[in-house]
Structure 1
């Protein structure tokens, strides 16, 4: 059993090193793919060594344990090999359960896209980060600029009370006044922009913050389908 624990430790340490060094592409000077194969071979060798040593007394039990741990080894190595596909699958499931959750996919050319699923009310919702704070926004291609609610403006560090509400805008609640501002940073997933023009609506005149064209027009493409919206940097 101690040898089987050693096997599990080899797999766990190897997988942890692969995940930690994923971005660098190398582990101990070896290509991550080669290192992954080395870990799997070491695990298999440990399995066979443990089986041979133990089979003299408990052959049947030894075979069962070898098969079990071999299955675990194959599962761990396969999980790492298909980590990108598994992450995409998980994101897809979560985006169906939680519309508006940012799903990042990579096409065959290595280009990343943000995929937003349509909500039950027919709108597309994006979970953005503005000045380091999370802000839930509705995507609105009819809005010329990003529009923040009074409350969201406070949350991202602005002082809406001191702003000058000099711009007349149309909202779902009718005509209202808004204050022009410049956002230091706004990001949706890996797509980030800085010094983006925006508006802050007067208090009580906007129900939800809007992701308008001052951000959307900076994208390479904006593709709307029946139930999803794709954004490409």
Structure 2
């Protein structure tokens, strides 16, 4: 085994010398240097595998099954890497169906983050966002001038609803109610992040679900609705 090791190392060393000497020519033995280097690599791998097979003493059928299993594993890993973005989109589609408000897709457009949302069964576009790192489920409401949190969501995001003054009138589906002004250190949806945002916190029991309003949406470079999908662009 030690003899074979030194033979392989000598062959690799000779190949490297030939590649360096023929760098300007671009060819070695009439073969492009890149192809020659790949041939040396494949030959080295084949020699190592062949030596293992010969020295193992195991039946060829057993070895073939083992190598076949490892080959399929490597093939699956390579395929997973090559199709990683398609698999990510598939996973997002599944999570969007299982967890309401999960982004249907996350991506980039001209270097800017994009988030694609799927319309919920209630006909609204919902999103799971982070407010001060706390997950909050909101309705994306282009008719709301401000982002408004329910008292429960505000408490989860680190605010104290009991210590706020509800003096700001807010129109909701149930009529006009009172809300309190506050500032969120960060609001994030996918890769779209905004810091130090003005928000409103509805009085306890006054709002059924939090709203992501135009004070956040207007900071985007654009958004559009395509059928059952809404695309937000940073």
CA contact (8 A) 2:105 2:117 kept: no
User: How many Å separate the matches in 2 of 1:51 and 1:91?
Assistant: 44
Question: What corresponds to 1:92 in structure 2?
Answer: 93
Give runs of aligned pairs for residues 97-108 of structure 1, distance below 5 A. Answer: 97-106=98-107
Aligned partner of residue 200 in structure 1, secondary structure: strand
1:165–1:83 Cα change, 3 Å: same
CA contact (8 A) 2:93 2:105 kept: no
Question: What corresponds to 1:120 in structure 2?
Answer: 121
CA contact (8 A) 1:154 1:160 kept: yes
- Runs of 5+ unmatched residues, structure 2: 1-37
1:47–1:128 Cα change, 3 Å: farther
1:88–1:51 Cα change, 3 Å: farther
Give runs of aligned pairs for residues 137-156 of structure 1, distance below 5 A. Answer: 137-156=138-157
Aligned partner of residue 197 in structure 1, secondary structure: strand
Question: What corresponds to 1:204 in structure 2?
Answer: 205
- Look at both structures and tell me which one has the larger radius of gyration over its CA atoms: 2
Deviations 1:136-164 (A, max 9, x none): 11111100000011111122111222222
Instruction: Return the TM-score normalized by structure 2.
Output: 0.73
The Cα of 1:41 is off from its aligned counterpart by: 6.6
CA contact (8 A) 2:113 2:192 kept: no
The Cα of 1:222 is off from its aligned counterpart by: 1.0
- Runs of 5+ unmatched residues, structure 1: 1-36
Question: What corresponds to 1:51 in structure 2?
Answer: 53
Instruction: Return the TM-score normalized by structure 1.
Output: 0.74
User: How many Å separate the matches in 2 of 1:135 and 1:95?
Assistant: 15
Aligned partner of residue 116 in structure 1, secondary structure: strand
Give runs of aligned pairs for residues 126-205 of structure 1, distance below 5 A. Answer: 126-205=127-206
CA contact (8 A) 2:142 2:213 kept: yes
1:121–1:164 Cα change, 3 Å: same
Question: What corresponds to 1:220 in structure 2?
Answer: 221
The Cα of 1:109 is off from its aligned counterpart by: 4.5
User: How many Å separate the matches in 2 of 1:144 and 1:43?
Assistant: 67
Aligned partner of residue 177 in structure 1, secondary structure: strand
The Cα of 1:175 is off from its aligned counterpart by: 1.0
Aligned partner of residue 200 in structure 2, secondary structure: strand
The Cα of 1:183 is off from its aligned counterpart by: 1.3
